Amino acid sequence: MKVTQFIIVLTFFGFTANSQYVDRTSFRAGLNAGIVTGDFSEAYSLVLGLDLYQHWGISKTIDLGITTGFSNAFGEKQEISAGGALIETKFDNIQFIPVAGSVRFYPTTGVKFGGDVGYAIGVNEGNEGGFYYRPSLGIDLNNGTTELNVSYLAVNGDIPYNSVLFGLLFLF
């Protein structure tokens, strides 16, 4: 009889432990848009990008993953007055491809915060890239198949590059 009770108790605990785990393993892809801040804000305004993530749920409240994508800050035309002459200059676009690790925490259902840390590869000429980090806050929409998020992207290279982004991710 004791063996049967032990098996019943063990089975109950197995189902209970399994019900605590939420498998959020998924591929995510989306778009982001935002504004440039900091040193580059006068020469660049609009940022558009693509985000690609692969996340694995390691517990009920934590996901770990990898990320990459593409970010493009559009250069603007500026007029500079020098010695009575008007000079017009056009700034080239700034482009990055991040390669990073990613972590997300789920304090409650449908809300997540976390960040990405890695290296941003500079794509355009003269862009050396640099240390990349991107804290973010997300809210699930459509039963978790879509995410609306806000993030702060920073690349610490020769000259620090920063932007504030709003994104929409789709989970596959």
Q: Model confidence over 6-60: pLDDT tens digits?
A: 455 445 444 444 445 566 788 999 999 999 998 888 899 899 999 999 999 999 8
pLDDT tens digit sequence for 48-93? 999 999 999 999 899 999 999 999 999 998 887 777 788 888 899 9
130, 165, 167, 163: which is closest to 147 by C-alpha? 167
134, 129, 122, 133: which is closest to 158 by C-alpha? 129
Q: Assess contact for 120 and 159: CB atoms under 8 A.
A: no
Q: Structure tokens of 29?
A: 């892809």
Report the alpha-carbon distance of residue 23 to residue 34 in Å, rounded.
31
Domain 23-171 has CATH 3.60.15.10: no
The pTM (predicted TM-score) of the whole model is: 0.81
Mean of pLDDT values over 139-152: 94
Question: Which residue blocks in the chain are alpha helix, DSSP H?
Answer: 2-20
What is the band of 156 on the pLDDT scale with cuts at 50, 70, 90? Answer: very high
Q: Structure tokens of 37?
A: 């801040």
